[in-house]
Structure formats: C-alpha cells, structure tokens
Structure 1
C-alpha cells in the first residue's frame, strides 16, 4: 500500500512540474463549472405550435419586454394626441399693415400722376401774343391730368406684387380707377375704418372656415354701419381677414412624443404564467411564447455564451489571487490542484441537492453545505481566497438552484454567500475538531437569521399554518447546512492533508500529542533531547507569535527537530547522564561527522514516517550551515590548515521564519542551560550574542526576517528564559539537612 502511495505521489509531483499545469487546472475548473451549470441555463425544450393545446404550464424563463404590445400602446397614445394650434397675434397687425400699404400706394400713385401731368404740361410749346391776349380775357385752364388709361397703367405698375392674389378679383380696372379717383381725405378715413374693423374681427380665434366666414361678415357689418364706405373697400377689408390660429407642427410632435414616453413598457416578469396546461394557444399567446424564447430553442446559444462569460470572470479573480499566493512551503500548483478538488466537491454536492428541487417545493438550496468548501479553503490555503470563493460559490448556487432555466435564484445565492463568508470569519487559526463543530453551529445560527430576514423582506403573512410550516422547514434546512458542513469538513480534511501533504492546524495538534510514536521514541531513547526539545518549543512558539509567524508549527517542529539524535543518543551531551563523553576518545573529524549527521538523519527519519514537509524542512534547516566551533577549534589545535568549511553543517539555510526561529532557539537553549547561575543579564547577553553571530554568519539570508523582527524575537527569548530560569528562595542549610 505504501509503495502505491509513493508511486502516486511521485507521479503527481512529476505532473505538477509541467510548465502549463496551472493552465490545465484553470481549464478543468472552468469545464467543471460549465458542465455542472449547463443544464441550469439550457432552455427548456417545449413543443409550441399555433392553434394547439399547451402540453404543460409554461412560465417566462426571464423578464422581457413585449415589444409589439408596447409599440401598439405607443401608437394609440400618439394617435390620441390632437393637432396643436397657436394663435398668432401678429397676424392682425400684418393684415392691417397690408391694407394701409394698399391705401398708401393709392395716394402715392395719385401724387405721381399729378407730377407726371405737370411735367408734361411744362414741356408743351409756348403760346403766341394773340393767344396770350385772348387768354387774359378768359378763365385759367384746369391743371393738367393723365388719361384714365395712363393712370390705370401707373397704378397697376405700383401695385404689382403688393396685393394678394385674392384681392385681384375684387380690384378690376373699374374699381381701381374708382379708388384712384377718391380724394386723399376719404382714403385716410376709409383706411382707419378698415384697420379698426380688421383688428376687431381678428381679436378672436380664427381657425376653421366657419370662424373665417363669421369674422369677415363682422367686418362687412361694421364697415356698412359706419356709412358711406364704398363696397369695394368693404370687400377688400373682409378679404384682409385671415386665419390667426395656425397648426404648430413642432408643438404637435412634442405632445405626441410626450404621450409616447408616458407609455410604460409592457413587461413579462420572470415566473409569470404565459399559458396554462391544456390552454388553447392563439396568435397572441404564440407571439408571447416566441418573445420568451420558446419558438426556436435548438439554435439558441446566448445562454451558454452568458454562462461562459460569467465563468471567465470568476476564473479571472481566482487567477489574480493565486498569482500572489505565498508559495514558500508548497508550490502554487499544489494549491491549485487542492482548490480544484475542494471546489468541485462543493459544486457536486450542491448539484446533487438541486435534483430534489421542484417548482412548488421549499428552497432545497438552504441545506447546501457551501460552508464546507469555504472552511477547507481557509484552513488549507488562505483567508482571501476563501472569501472570494464564498462569493463565487454563491453565484454558482444561484444558477444551480434556479427555478427557471437561465435565471438566477438571488435569494439562495445571497444566502449561500452569507453562510460561506460567516464560516470563514468565525473559524480561527487555532482550530480543533471541536472548533470546527462550533463554527458549524455558528453558521447554522447565521443561516436561520438569514432565512428569517429574507422571509420578512418579502412581507409574507406568517399567521397561517402553511407559511409557518414553510418557515420551519427552511429553518431546519438552514440548521442542517451548518452542521453538515462541519461534519463533512472534519471528514474530508484528513484525506486532503495526506493526499497533498498539507499541514493544517488540526494536523499539527495531532502531531503534538505525546503519544505519537516518534515523540515516544525521542522520550524513551533520548530523554535529555526530549526535555531540550520541549524547552525549544516554548521559546520558538512565543517568538513566532511575536512576529506573526506560525507559532504552532514552530512548537511541533521543535518537538521533532532533533529526532536524528535517536540514532546515536550517547554522543550528545544532554543524553549522557554523567557517562563518559565518547567524543573525548574520537578525533574531531569523526565527532564532527556524528554531530552533523543528526540533522540529515532526522530529516530522513521524518520523511520515512511521512511527516509533513514543513516539519522535515525545519529539521534539516535548523542548524543551517553554521560552524561546529568546539570541534573546529579542537581540530585547529592539531592542524592549522583545517578549513572552516569542513566543520560546517551541510545546510540548507533556514528558508522560513519558523525554521530560523527554531534554529536560533535551539542554540540559545543549549547555551543558557550550560550556565551555572543564569541571571537576566547573562541570558540577555547570550541571546544577543547568538542572534548577532547568526546574523553576521548569514544564517538569516534566505528567510524573510527583518532587523525589527529579530529584535522582537530576542526580547521574546529573554522573557521566556527568565520565566524558566527564575530565581528561587534560598532555604537555610539546616532545613536542607533536615
């Protein structure tokens, strides 16, 4: 069995090193999401035929606008708007100006005619003396005048283009000559009377032909009653009256547009019944079915395109998060593979529960254990990805638990997001199985509160038995969701830890159990090393917590970091128990090899027992490539050509904060334990000296510790050591002897 596990592990490790492995994982994740939600967006295949009976009740799969009905209402609204007219007050003054202009032309023509006649007379030959004498005895001749034909021609010339075509019938040659022959005083009198009559007639609305005829008659009546006004002037004045209420196309169009805009779109809401089972499908119903998308479903790919776009958006957020993930311990591909597995399990569980959902049943989505996926992702990867995954799982759940293909169940989707996020926020770092169960109960409580809030938001009447029963069922499923999530998390977590070599807090707590076979081995075979390891664990844990590192990992790794000493216990001073030190009889080179081997031997023992990689690495790195000073100086006394490199640990150097802290704590604990009378000053000097020595030796060059953090670590070491080696009361000698 172990061989099969190792073989699978080797194949998996080899596959993870593939260059495009992450692309394959993202593709598989998208494919799984698309496959599980494909049926939830696929349009329902329904046989829809005109003039037939509906096989089943058909509801709208989504909200849409009934464009034909909306357009019909808009046309009706537009047609109902009457034409808009405007009264032009300037029309009356324009017509008065026109009649005044006509009379002005008459007077101007009269003056022009007299001037022409006078000039013509001046141009006639002078008279003789006899004629002049005879004329003295007679009356003076009348002033010269033009003939009627000449006056008529002159008047027509001046009036050309000045009078409307309607006036031309009234102004024949006789009337023109008549008007031309009127004296100026009469023309002024007629002009004033005509202007007054026109103003009075056009002071009211003139829109229809009836209104126009009535206004013109009023002009005739008023001028007739004025007396002595020629008929031609009365007729011209009545013709001068025109419509003053004019059709306003711009205003009409504006009113029509307002009426169109006021018409609300005819919308069919998602879930509305279009046709009931057995109902006759007439043309109107058939049109609505086509508008809803039931006409030609075989070629409709838009729902799948929409789903694909949503999946791409969700994957984009995951790609961004995984690009910045800390991969100090495990490779990014390991986290991706594990995420794929957790996410797929969660989606599959939701899909299985969705099969028990019908249109008229209670929301089965309330029992979906989405919090399980969120908790596993938080414990095995990190919080940020767990929060974003909670939102993504909620979106997926809104599709999986939808009631109509292609729609989104926002109620269940929101509920799932709240449930998953609550589990991430409540689950702390130091979790045990009991804490996971507590988180499940907390999630159950949040789920119930969410369900009640959603019911209250819908303003349902909760006084009826049916409503109360439904609320009770939903609340029970909400409680079950939290409990089931916790149980599944506890059940699945060990398989993921073993399969991917992940180190969760729960796994660390299990490894810290003193009954673990390797810890019992250390205790039984190297009791001094065991006590030393416990001391190092105390120092390391407090120092890690001071700088935000994983204190529990440092504690557990400290328990195992010197397990390599179990191969040769007596060669390490803490296990000699007053025995002769075997190194006194060995050359420095041999002693060096034995001491150095405990780091590599320990790492190998841990690997053979399938211990987590983090603990194996700390066991191999806790000495880095530090110098074995005692044996180096011992060898130097015998041979000056000895090189430091020959007496250094093989490494590697500490690659994490936890490994660096455990290594430093290991050296400090051994140094302080060797003191005869450890005082706070002595402890502080040793701590500062060892940290400074390791810093100058480059032992912290491959981890992310800062100078500020090293100072905090030193303070933590001093506080812990002073608590361990605190001063005791010195009893009197007599009491000691007794």
Structure 2
C-alpha cells in the first residue's frame, strides 16, 4: 500500500495532466452539436466528386434565405390593416350638435325651421358616421381593403369608405346644396364643425399581431424528397435546385436528435476525434517543449485557452451563425506567442480550428480562413508590447480574412454580385475584438503567474523602485548589471534568443548584493577590502549568499519566476575560485563544495547567455592593458572554463551558438576599451 501511495505521489504531475486532458475533452464534446455530422462537403458550382447520393430518409427542401425574405416582404406589403370604430361617440356628437343648433341659430329661425334643421343634422351625422371618421390619412391606396372593427366584429371595406376629417367639409357642403336649407349653410356648417370629431383610429397593436401571426405561419420548406430517391449523380454540377436540396439534406441530417445506440456511437466518435487532437498537442509539447510539458500551470493555461475559444464560438453560433467571424480566434496564437513561442502558438491554433470545424457550417471555408489568419498572426506580430505593431498586424489579419472570403465567394458563386457587405463588417468587428489581447494578457499574467514581453518591458525600466534602490545601495553592482544587460541583449539577438527576457534577467541578477554591498569589489570605494579580516570560507559564504538573498528580494518584490530563474542560475554550480584558491594555500585538503554555488545550472539559452556575459564582464575589470589578442584569449578562457565545468549541459544551446556569443562578447569588449585593430609588424 505504501509503495502504491508513493507511486501516486511521484507521478502526481502526470495524473494531473491525464485529468486535465480528460476534463477538457469531455467539456469540448459536451459543447459540440448533438446531431450527426454530414460527411460530404457541398462544392457549389463544381462537379459532385462522390458516389451517387440517394436520400437516406424523407426530408423537406428548405427555402433559401432570399426566398423567405421575399415572402416576408410580400406578406408585410399585403397585410390588411385594422381600424377601431368607436360606437359610443355618435350619441355624444348628436347631443352636442343639438346644443350647437340652439346656440348658432336665432329663435326666429328656429321657430320656422327647427324641425327641418334637426332632421337634416341627425340624418347627415348618420351618413357621416356610417363607416366612421378618421383623423388622418394613413397614405393607403383608396381601393385597398381594410378591416373596420366595431365591437367584437370586423368588416372588410375599401379604405376610401372611411371618411377623413379633411373631407367632411366637402361632403357637408354637397349635402346642404342638395337640401332646401342652402340659405342656412353657414350656420349648419358651424354646427357641424363644433360637433364633429373622429371616431376611427388605426389599431396598430392588432395589425402587428395579425402580421406576426402570418409571418410565423410562413412555411420554410418547399416540397419534399422521398427516401431512396436520387439526389445527385457523380459528376453532376452542384448548382441551382441540386445545391438547395443538398443543403437541406445536410441541415436535416445535422439537426436530427439521435437517440439510443446511435447517439452513443456519435458521442464515441466525437470523443475519439477530440481526444486524438488534444493528444497530438500534448505529444507535440512533450517532444518539442518539454519544459512547458513539465509545468502543469502552463499546460493548464494552454488547454484553458482552447476550451475558452471553443466555448465562445459555440455561444456565438447558437446566438447567430452570421457572427461566427466576430470571435477573435487570432487572439489564441497571439496570446501563446506572447507567453511561449510562435511554433507552439501556431500548432495550438491549428488544433483548435480543427475542433471548431465540428461546430461551424461550411467547415472547410472556415478552417481555411482561420488557419491562414493564424499563420499571418504568427508571421506579422512581433514585439507585441509596441501598440503600433499590434494595430498594423490586426489590419493585416482583417485584410487576409476579407481577401480569402472574397476568393471563396467568387469560386462558389461565379461572380462578385453575391458578396455580402455584412460579412466584411463581421471581419472588422473581429479585428477590433483582437485588440483586446493586451488586457487579456495582463489578466492571464495575474491568474496564471506567467510573464509576457509587456511585463518585461515594464521591468526593464531602470527607474523602477527596485532598480533605483540598487543604484543607491550598490551603485557599482548597478553599473555592472547595466553592462551585462547590454552584452546579453546583443548576444541574444545574435542567436535569436529572447533578448528582452535576458536583458531583464541581467538587470536583476545581482540584486542580492544590496544585502551586503561593501563585500563586493565593485561597490568598494576605498583600498580597504572588508574580506581581509575574514576567513576565506566565511568570505565565500557571503559571496554565495547573494544568490539566496537575490531570490528572497525578487519574491518579496513580486518578480516573475522567469526573472528569478536568472538570479538562481547566473553562477550555476561554479566555485568562488578566488577564495577557494586562497583557502587552499592554507589547507590543501579544503573541500571545493564549501566554495560552490548551490545552482541550479542554466537550463535555457537565455540563462546560459547571462552566465557567459556575467563572467566575462566581471572578469574584464581585471584587465590592465587590454589588447585585441588579449581580449580574444580572455573571452575564450572564461567561456571554455564554464563549458568544461558542465554549466551548459541542461541549456538547449549549441556549440555554434556559443561561438557566435563569444564573437559578440569579443567585439563588444573591444568597443568598450576603444581598441584598434593590431596590425602585424
């Protein structure tokens, strides 16, 4: 049992990766569509390359979006509007008119014509309000049929039969002219104008409800295809009705909710493909980026980004498939390049796009566009911390999207008439969303404890609190660090290493010397050496302690681990040779381990570069009268000694790269000492 527990403990990192792998695969499969996957690509305008295709089941032929839109417009155009008739108004208006008659006409006129006037007014009002009076014209065709709703019943009448308020005067004038009351026309008109008011209004709510009901009843299909009937033969061109039938079959196939054993087999198929894609990524990381594979936080970060992109794309597809290109997929390679490298960023991007092919329609077109965009992202984005570079790269990525879509549309449609301007807008929105990568990188740094070039740029500022403190407490060490940073940056550029990272590492590698600055020669301002009164072993421990103190100071000031690695490794497991030699003069049997740095030895190109530059720069202060030949021999001696001690065994650096670094160090030191070329006598 103890052996089993110990085995679990020793392999806990591996078990965690297996758990992470399984969890990511399960979540991605859960997000994938719950239907079958149509196994054919539909190449519009091209010959059908597959075998003869027969309908596997009965299915309806879907109308195109254009057909549905045209039908909706036709229904909207021909929709019959509703008008509400208020029946309670007429009795009130008649009562008002009766009062107006008594006010407008004199008693002498009423004594003679009152009965005639009242009868004319009541009859005219009945005629005016037969179909009601409308306040304003709705600019409808006079012959268009409308529904006039009276109570719970609606009657269909021509629109012109509803009297408009501005027509009332003409109608009344005609009625008065046809009566025997023409002499009283002014008074009668005044009675009507003081009484008449609209009693019909447009019923927008009922009209819209009726319109929505009709729109909801639109059939999205036109005809059916019976099981077993041939859809298309091999070699036939995929166009016209054939194309629409194939798309209808694909939609029906993918929308079917599978049950029982079929559903289980589909889940098994999805799980196998997703697991295979993620496994390829893990194997790639293990073979070519083993340091990342060993770091569970970094592996978690990579898998999290894949899952995040799959989840985001799934949500957008379910919301509206037209916005699928708004998802800024280029953020994935940008982020991984910022924290790791281009090769890993591109490989992860390709794996993610392959997984998204299960989710999006027109998967070949989508994958082509996204992979090309990912390649452009990797090739164009350099020095992400420079804002101008990011804007330029986003512009280039958006342009590639547009050009690729343009080309695909021409291939599929045979003309540019079918190009949809709205798609270009989604590409622009996706490009703008890609600019979110900078705040996203900052968030990732805080969550996962990673460091990007943007953080390194901030750390390289010599006005930062920690570097200013070192400049005050240990000015000689600060000057030494600046010189080492310049040498290391030049060397890193020569062999295509991370120059920004090695420069920052060089600036902070000796911060531990702030603890006892006067015990280091570069900070001593007098001829008195504080080590003269100490035992060599004690002096060596003080010197060695600056590495431990540097790590403590770095952690206290929240320096990233990648920067603290330079503090740990810049002396590797070398010995404090000066004091070791001094101790041997007193005792030949003194152990070398007492004078040895704790390590570890450098484990990357950047940490190896710092060790070389630090050793050469520190030792160069001992050169009295440097010449070109002396400097060449001096650099060779320092670096070769480090190699003989095995300090670079764990660093992925080649002999060729070491020779290039030596060359740079020689040239830089000659520039520092202003040496001229030595001509032979």
TM bucket normalised to smaller? 0.5 to 0.7
Distance 1:558 1:49, change over 3 A: closer
SS in 2 for 1:400: coil
Q: Distance in 2 between matches of 1:274 and 1:578?
A: 87
The farther-off stretch of 514-523 and 576-585 is: 576-585
Q: Distance in 1 between matches of 2:274 and 2:225?
A: 27
Aligned to 1:147: none
Cα root mean square deviation, aligned: 3.9
Aligned to 1:457: 411
Correspondences of 1:320-331 after superposition (within 5 Å): 320-328=283-291, 331=294
Correspondences of 1:321-720 after superposition (within 5 Å): 321-328=284-291, 331-357=294-320, 363-402=322-361, 408-428=362-382, 431-459=385-413, 470-471=420-421, 473-487=422-436, 489-578=437-526, 580-720=528-668
After superposition, give the CA deviation of every residue in 1:574-624 in whole Å (9 maximum; x if it has no partner).
112236321222222222221111111112211222322222122122112
Q: Distance in 2 between matches of 1:701 and 1:289?
A: 57
8 Å Cα contact 2:317-2:323 kept in structure 1: yes
- Residue 36 in 1 paired to residue 196 in 2? no
Aligned residues: 492
Q: Distance in 1 between matches of 2:527 and 2:431?
A: 59
Q: Distance in 2 between matches of 1:691 and 1:556?
A: 22
8 Å Cα contact 1:444-1:483 kept in structure 2: no
Aligned to 1:25: 20
Distance 1:606 1:505, change over 3 A: same
Q: Distance in 2 between matches of 1:305 and 1:55?
A: 39
The farther-off stretch of 478-487 and 632-641 is: 632-641
8 Å Cα contact 1:65-1:267 kept in structure 2: no
Q: Distance in 2 between matches of 1:423 and 1:289?
A: 33
Q: Distance in 2 between matches of 1:392 and 1:616?
A: 33
Structure 2 gaps, min length 5: 1-8, 39-57, 61-215, 677-681
After superposition, give the CA deviation of every residue in 1:82-139 in whole Å (9 maximum; x if it has no partner).
xxxxxxxxxxxxxxxxxxxxxxxxxxxxxxxxxxxxxxxxxxxxxxxxxxxxxxxxxx
After superposition, give the CA deviation of every residue in 1:346-389 in whole Å (9 maximum; x if it has no partner).
2222223223316xxxx311212111112112322333332233
Q: Distance in 2 between matches of 1:534 and 1:334?
A: 32
Aligned to 1:312: 275
Instruction: Give the TM-score, by structure 1 length.
Output: 0.60
After superposition, give the CA deviation of every residue in 1:381-416 in whole Å (9 maximum; x if it has no partner).
3333322333333344444333xxxxx544334333
Alpha-carbon distance, 1:331 to partner:
2.1
SS in 2 for 1:355: helix
Structure 1 gaps, min length 5: 1-13, 74-259, 276-287, 403-407, 729-738
8 Å Cα contact 2:36-2:255 kept in structure 1: no
Q: Distance in 2 between matches of 1:635 and 1:560?
A: 30
Aligned counterpart for 2:671 among listed residues 723, 734, 738: 723
Aligned counterpart for 1:68 among listed residues 218, 228, 232: 228
SS in 1 for 2:651: coil
Alpha-carbon distance, 1:529 to partner:
0.7
After superposition, give the CA deviation of every residue in 1:539-567 in whole Å (9 maximum; x if it has no partner).
12222333343222221111000000001
Distance 1:272 1:25, change over 3 A: same
Distance 1:490 1:269, change over 3 A: farther
8 Å Cα contact 2:274-2:355 kept in structure 1: no
8 Å Cα contact 2:474-2:517 kept in structure 1: yes
Distance 1:457 1:566, change over 3 A: same
Alpha-carbon distance, 1:512 to partner:
0.8
Larger radius of gyration: 1
Q: Distance in 2 between matches of 1:261 and 1:607?
A: 68
Alpha-carbon distance, 1:653 to partner:
2.2
Alpha-carbon distance, 1:513 to partner:
1.5
Q: Distance in 2 between matches of 1:590 and 1:337?
A: 45
8 Å Cα contact 2:35-2:257 kept in structure 1: no
Alpha-carbon distance, 1:533 to partner:
0.5
Q: Distance in 1 between matches of 2:543 and 2:601?
A: 17
After superposition, give the CA deviation of every residue in 1:262-300 in whole Å (9 maximum; x if it has no partner).
99999996753999xxxxxxxxxxxx9999698985444
Q: Distance in 2 between matches of 1:262 and 1:692?
A: 70
Alpha-carbon distance, 1:664 to partner:
2.1
